[in-house]
Chains A and B, each alone.
Chain A
Amino acid sequence: MDFSFTPEQLAFREQVLKFSAKEIAPLAEEMDLKAEWSWEAWRKMGDFGLLGLHYPEEYGGAGADVVTTCVAGEALGEGGADSGLMLAYGAHSFLCGDTILRHGTPEQKKKYLPGIASGKLVGAMGLTEPGAGSDAAAIATRADRVGDKWRLNGTKMFITNGPIADVVVVFAVTNKEAGPMGISGFIVEKDTPGFRVGKVLHKMNVRASQTSELIFDNAEVPAENLLGQEGMGFVVALGALEWDRSALLAPGIGAARKLLRDCTKYSNERKQFGRPIFEFQAIQHKLADMRIYCETARLLLYRVAWKKDQGQPLNHLEASIAKLYVGEYGLAFGNDAVQIHGGYGLMHEYPVERFYRDVKLGSIGGGTSEIQRMIIARTLPGDK
């Protein structure tokens, strides 16, 4: 047992913290308020080398291990990066890019990954549909083989980066009779005829990330854009979901650490009844609970990350535990943070208002808390 980070990881953390605080954080408030995508922030992240950090160097990455990748994500959040930007980064680098990295052919990797790593190409992943969320195996989008092409028909829903994506990893049914083993993954490019961005969706939180429907109306995709083996799409998607339940949590945990510091400072400055509100036990107890959350969430995250680095890529149980904890306890954390700020906590001017909205994504996105509990329950001894 050893809970330490390497000196290199700690030094890199400092660099990313500084970068995030100086270059990204100042854009956060406006991005969220206007629900506007920031190419400026995106370019800066790409230039810093954060978008393909864990990809091999030949594909424009730095070959970072998973722990270091999470250290970077945490530092981005802790530096004050907007959660919408962080979600876009997660969907782009992991759900799209990493899926191509792990399952793509050498040609596919060469074609897409350097662009994804630099941020010149924006990636997205399309799994969820209007009628299939938690029950992902029930997707209805079809892909039929016609000559040397696949013809896609269907609609994807709640797709992060949908409106701005150049490359989308899409899952569709290629063999209806085979159930979950009849689903395949495809790489779909923006200008594919028959593929278009549907309704752009306006959200409660992570507003700077762009979300939409994706519509496939006889969209024809070249045969070589099949991602992984035919019929193995569900397995491909599960790998992506595991990133959803690990590395994608890192920026939020970093944001929580920053917020805890902010709350501590605020409670020391804000005076009521003639003294700093910190001196009231009701405030102290909230800060203590927030501290416990930060300590615990981090350990659960890095356990999954470290095990990924040890060659345990599909660690569903521990990834689900991390996701469930961060999602559920994060709600209480956000509530305490707003409560400490009182009326100011409801104002856009304070990042705590944004955090409170953003944190709700944690119990829904990447598999609801209920789904995480189902996954955990499946591992229990005895028959279910």
Chain B
Amino acid sequence: MNYEYNTEQQAAFKTFAKLCREQIAPHAKEMDRGGPASEARLRANLVRLGEFGYLGMSYPAAYGGGERPLVEAVVFNEELSRACPSTFLSAGASVGLGGGPILRFGSEAQKKRWLPELAAGRAIGALGLTEPDCGSDLASLRTRARETADGWVLNGTKMFITNGPICDFAVVLAKIEKDGKEAGMGLFLVERGTKGFSTGAPLEKMGYHGSPTGELIFEDCALPREALVGEAGHGFGQALRTLQGGRVGMAAGAMGVAQACFDESVKYANQRKTFGHKIIKYQEISFKIADMKMMLDAGRLLTARAAWLLDIGDAEADVVGRCAKIFASEAATKISGWAVQIHGGYGYMNEFAVERLYREAKLGEIGEGANEIQRIVIAQDCLSRWT
């Protein structure tokens, strides 16, 4: 047992926190406006994060990675999300969701082609699972990959894809059709520029305006045989495995949003005066901040343990990751609501970061599988474990 990171780890976290504070956080507000300037900033941020070694931290050294375990990654993730949730989301979708299946299941050629580029921030990846009519019920997806003599032909539409409008490639889950029959699912790597593959305009959304989201459209999109990632027929399991890491990443990101709300609340409560006193003197304010602190600690521990379980390959990693994702995301929405409340009228204004954070916090309860579906899976785990 050890509830502390070692000194080398702590030093690395500190260096990264400084970079985030000084080079990433100052642009979070302008990125929230969206548009081309925001996209340019995102690309610059990714390159900067690549130089630092953040993007490839979980990759093997052979592909430009840092080989850091997930239990460390969650701290880096939280720190980046604390500085700029949009940058965190796009970075995670690129290297974790887009690069993750390549890393775990891809061919040597796929790894060599993409992982170093992703790790450097020069290429942007995406993962396409969700469709207009299927989210939590992933098994009912409609995108089809018909096997042909020399490859595959993809047809269908993917929805709400983070980095969709800007990705250089997407890994896409589709049902395989072989000789007119369904043959399980597969993951397919589709590069931008492939004939029959187009991406929709960025969707207008509640938060994360600095992280473009959009549709991926496949119309008789012909792919070579080697576009398959991993094994034909195993795509569903591979996608689920990718989401295990994604959920823990989402939990860490939610903690970053919550920590930013905490930071802003402490700062504001020490400045703002009412009835002759700083508002932090009032229990209504300081107790809310105390609860924030408790939830941050609890969520962080749960997230770290989920990451650690994934690192050691423990069977409980899946369910604890879901617990962490639920707790962290719901803590973040609660905390962001309190943060706005502590700021009063100012909390409602764009000028204050908590207004943006409040909008961003909500994603955690929905992204990477809505919390409702997570709860069902956790209950199923209880049932299979104890009855």
Contact = CB atoms under 8 A, between A and B. Distances in A.
Contacts of B383: 264, 268, 278
17 contacts: A1-B2, A1-B4, A1-B71, A284-B375, A284-B376, A295-B320, A299-B302, A302-B3, A303-B3, A306-B3, A324-B290, A370-B287, A373-B286, A376-B293, A380-B289, A384-B280, A384-B286
Contacts of B4: 1
Interface stretch (A118-126, A144-152, A194-202, A285-293): A285-293
A307 interface: yes
Given A268-B387, A382-B266, A1 B379 contact: no
Nearest to B307: A1
B308 A260 contact: no
A377 B287 contact: yes
B305 A3 contact: yes
Given A3-B305, A268-B383, A377-B290, A292 B327 contact: yes
B316 to A, nearest CB: 9
B327 to A, nearest CB: 5
Interface residues of A, number: 46
Interface in A1-24: 1-6
B382 A300 contact: no
A380 B297 contact: no
Given A1-B5, A321-B293, A384-B286, A296 B327 contact: yes
Contacts of A380: 266, 280, 286, 289-290, 293
Contacts of B378: 287-288, 291-292
Interface string A301-315: 011001100000000
In the A-B complex, the 6 residue pairs with the smallest Cβ-Cβ separation, listed nearest first, are: A284-B379, A382-B270, A288-B375, A376-B290, A288-B378, A377-B286
B264 to A, nearest CB: 12
B3 to A, nearest CB: 5
Contacts of B387: 264-265, 268
Nearest to B326: A292
Interface string A231-275: 000000000000000000000000000001100110010000000
B286 A2 contact: no
Q: Counting chain A CB atoms within 10 Å of each CB, which of B267, B301, B304 scores highest?
A: B301
B23 to A, nearest CB: 23
Contacts of B248: none
Contact of A296 (B266, B270, B298): B298
How many B residues are at the interface, by size bracket?
Answer: 35 or more
A336 to B, nearest CB: 12
Contacts of A325: 294, 298
Contact of A299 (B270, B291, B305, B326): B305
A264 B1 contact: no
Given A264-B382, A377-B286, A285 B1 contact: no
A383 interface: yes
B114 to A, nearest CB: 30
A100 interface: no
Contact of A318 (B289, B297, B304): B297
Interface in A342-384: 370, 372-374, 376-377, 379-384
Contacts of B266: 380-382
Q: Main secondary structure on chain B at its contact with chain A?
A: helix
A41 interface: no
Interface string B255-277: 00000000000110110000000
Q: Main secondary structure on chain A at its contact with chain B?
A: helix
Contacts of A285: 372, 375-376, 379
Contacts of B379: 264, 278, 283-285, 287-288, 291
Contacts of A382: 266-267, 269-270, 278, 280
Interface in B281-318: 281, 283, 286-287, 289-291, 293-294, 297-298, 301-302, 304-305, 308-309
A295 B286 contact: no
B141 interface: no
Contacts of B71: 1
Contacts of A260: 382, 386
A292 B302 CA distance: 9
A1 B286 contact: no
A167 interface: no
B293 A264 contact: no
Contacts of B376: 281, 284-285, 288
B229 to A, nearest CB: 31
A67 interface: yes
A306 B302 contact: no
Contacts of A376: 290, 293-294
A370 B291 CA distance: 10
A5 B2 CA distance: 10
A289 to B, nearest CB: 7
A343 B209 CA distance: 50
Nearest to B387: A268
A318 B286 CA distance: 17
A300 B3 contact: no
Interface in B366-387: 372, 374-376, 378-383, 385-387
Interface string B131-148: 000000000000000000
Interface in B343-387: 372, 374-376, 378-383, 385-387
B228 interface: no
Contacts of B250: none
Contacts of A302: 1, 3
A351 B48 CA distance: 57
Contacts of A381: 266, 270
Nearest to B382: A264
A302 B298 CA distance: 12
B298 A373 contact: no
A72 to B, nearest CB: 15
Contacts of B297: 300, 318, 321
B323 interface: yes
B143 to A, nearest CB: 28
A383 B305 contact: no
A287 B1 contact: no
Contact of A321 (B294, B323, B375): B294
Contacts of A67: 1
Q: Counting chain B CB atoms within 10 Å of each CB, which of A265, A291, A370 scores highest?
A: A291
Contact of A303 (B283, B290, B301): B301
Contacts of B287: 370, 373-374, 377
B166 to A, nearest CB: 34
Given A5-B1, A67-B1, A382-B280, A261 B386 contact: yes
Nearest to B265: A380
